Structure 1
Amino acid sequence: MAVARKLSRGEITREKLLDSAEKLFALKGFHGVTVRAIAREADSDPALVAYYFGGKRELFDEVLLRRAEQLNQIRLQELEACERAAGPEGPTVEEIIAAFTHPLLDRSIHGDPGWKSYFALIGQITNAPDWGGAVMSKYFDPIVRRFLQSLRKALPDCRDEELFWSYHFLSGALVLTFAETGRIDSLSGGLCKSSDIEAVADRLPEFIAAGFRRLCARDAAARAERARAEPGQDA
């Protein structure tokens, strides 16, 4: 049985700085947080941010990387597991989307409080047009492209344009879910709650899969109609 390695004092300090930065960045955004505030939250010296990370932007990058690496590994494992279980025909669209979303939703429900901060931070970055796209591409594009590869097999007649738009809508649904704004609470008169991530996990794969299939089928029908309308097609 493996024994957990005891962290050194330096490693503990570094993790405390990452946890504090994650929390404050999620609450106030990158530009609303100072290195001094992060150090104070971590009960540490501001000079240690420079020592361990180099600066605020490097610390921010490390905050993103720390959990992104975990998520990407787990998502890939879940996708590969569902592909193996499905056999030669491959997994369904619902199973692929569940493998993509489950690791995130499960950690939002059952993970440590830092996961809530992390997902809130991801929501902020996704909605930042000046630099959010570049940051998200850096950390998440490889795993997204791997899932799109699996979706192409499940939807062989679907053009990439429709797959990318469908993923765009999936990404938006996840960002809104993690924001937990309370909007659905008010709209539904308390019938639904934005904090009920389990309800989202139960519904999201089926809902999103239907959207993928509908856009792909609509595009295929439009292409077939254009082909019939071309001169000489009826000869």
Structure 2
Amino acid sequence: MPRTKSAAKVGRPRAADKDKTERGERILNAAEKLFALHGYDGVTLRTLANSAEVDVALINYYFGPKQQLFDTVFARRAQILNEERLQALELAEQEAAPNPISVEKIIEAFLRPLEVAQESDDEGWKNYCALLAYVNNSAVWGPILMSKHYNAIVDRFVQALRVALPDAEDADLYWCYHYMSGAMSLTFANTGRIDKMSGGVCRSDDFKAAYDRMIPFVAAGFKQVCG
């Protein structure tokens, strides 16, 4: 007759797994904040370990070398954003059927989830958006991480734009996306520059105002260049 494990022994692995998950999340959250503030090169594993209150060896044990950790931090919320964007696009397509979805609705499906992220009470999303601005404007990390984690969703939206703008050339579509990406990055960065330029009339942390204007602005640009 096989021996049965005691309840205490059965419970130990679960407690250990919970502790490991909590430590892993603590490392990722601390890394996200530090990378957003200081960039990849400005963060040491010792600084990160102190911030996360873990041993340095645990960082490598859970996530591998620093570059792999950076990728994991960047990928974690990219997946969430991509799912939100895809759901918004598919819903807009269903609502428009049997007609093609409008350019405005395509751009809104792409941009509005970013507004929701920036408005979140979760400090992690604010850190991630700052990190996204850093990576998107980096000649080193942009081609690697943006391509790896965002190209597939961009391709899906470009395909929707091809349907909405049947006379558009691919070069024009991708240039227009390039310009939109620049506007997104400046909004992610939340630098406060527009506050000073406008004398306080505009605020860089007024994300609803930013996206309410960015969506029709970008849509008009696509239609002008690609129409």
TM over 0.5: yes
CA distance in 2, matches of 1:151, 1:111: 32
Q: CA deviation at 1:130?
A: 2.6
State the superposition RMSD in angstroms: 1.4
2:174 to 124, 146, 164: 164
Matched, 1:9 2:10: no
**Structure 1 position 131, deviation (Å):** 3.4
Q: CA deviation at 1:122?
A: 1.1
Deviation per CA, 1:175-233, whole angstroms, max 9, x where unpaired?
0001111111111110001111110121111110000011124xxxxxxxxxxxxxxxx
1:101 aligns with 2:111: yes
Unpaired runs of 5+ in structure 2?
Answer: 1-13
Could you tell me the percent identity over the aligned residues?
50
Asked if structure 1 preserves the Cα contact closer than 8 Å seen for 2:120 and 2:126, the reply is: no
SS at the partner of 2:199?
A: coil
Work out the CA distance in 1 between the residues paired with 2:177 and 2:56: 40
Find the partner of 2:38 among 28, 33, 40: 28
Q: Secondary structure at the match of 1:8?
A: helix
In the aligned structure 2, how far is the partner of 1:158 from the partner of 1:73? Answer: 27
The equivalent of 2:219 in structure 1 is: 209
3-state SS in 2 of match to 1:89 = coil
3-state DSSP of counterpart to 1:88:
coil
Counterpart of 2:187, as a letter, is T
2:7 aligns to what?
Answer: none
Structure 1: gaps of 5 or more residues: 218-235
Tell me the secondary structure at the aligned position of residue 128 of structure 1.
coil
Other-structure match for 1:143: 153
Output the CA distance in 2 between the equivalents of 1:111 and 1:170. Answer: 25
Secondary structure at the counterpart of residue 64 of structure 2: coil
CA distance, structure 1, for counterparts of residue 137 and residue 44 of structure 2:
21
Task: Look up the equivalent residue of 1:183 and give its one-letter code.
Answer: R
Q: Distance in 2 between matches of 1:24 and 1:124?
A: 12
Deviation sequence 1:54-75 (CA, Å, 0-9, x none):
1111111110111011111111
* Structure 1 residues 111 and 91: CA distance shift in structure 2, 3 A: farther
Please identify runs of 4+ aligned residues in structure 1 that moved more than 6 A: none
Asked if the contact 2:78/2:150 (under 8 Å) is kept, the reply is yes
Secondary structure of the structure 1 residue equivalent to 2:139:
coil
- By how many angstroms is 1:30 displaced? 0.4
| 1:175 aligns with one of 166, 176, 185 | 185
Does residue 202 of structure 2 align to residue 192 of structure 1? yes
Q: For 1:38, give the aligned amino acid.
A: L
* TM-score of the aligned structures, taking structure 2 as reference length: 0.91
Deviation at 1:111, TM superposition (A): 4.5
Q: Which amino acid aligns with 2:128?
A: Y
